[in-house]
Amino acid sequence: MKTDKVYLVGFMGAGKSTLARALGRRLGWRVEDVDELIEARERCTVADLFATRGEPYFRAAEREVLRRLLPLRHAVVATGGGTYADADNRSLINENGVAVWLDIPFPIAIERVPADGRRPLAADRARFESLFHARRLAYQQAHIRLDAAAPGEELVERILDWLGY
């Protein structure tokens, strides 16, 4: 499938940001990270934004950042863990490029995402697990599913092969 835009979707800790940089380098494309753009726009961390303004404010900022990225071409976009879980965001992403789901097993998510407050939705581990399972239903609507427990370079090669590059 030829495309000029790739969106990496998946749960916290799946490696979206890291893989976006590696894939962007290989393709020679621009790389954008939704969470980093929100932090730059709001001049605070995602954790601070959740603490001071709440999740609804964060989701509105996320939606606005995503909409601003729509016109970009030749880009790899690392989404936040919840970006693709929103039905409107999911539709925009699926119509605007190729959504690649980086799927990780729950034990890997637990291992990669500490409950130290840096990721607000990971502090309560029962809620974290519930969120993991609930979001899988949305992630399953991505164009491609990859086992993100594989090495990064292998994932880059799989995406390039699938895209025909």
* Per-residue confidence (pLDDT) for residue 113, from 0 to 100: 86
Name, in order, each residue with C-beta under 8 angstroms of 106's C-beta and a sequence gap of 6 or more.
Answer: 129, 132, 133
Give pTM, 2 decimals: 0.94
| Residue 158 in tokens | 């799989």
Give me the pLDDT at residue 155, please: 96
Q: Which CATH class, in words, describes the domain spanning 5-163?
A: alpha beta
Ranges of residues in the chain whose predicted pLDDT is under 70: 1, 117
Phi and psi for 129 in degrees, rounded to 5?
-65, -40
pLDDT value of residue 136:
96
Share of the chain above pLDDT 70, in %: 99
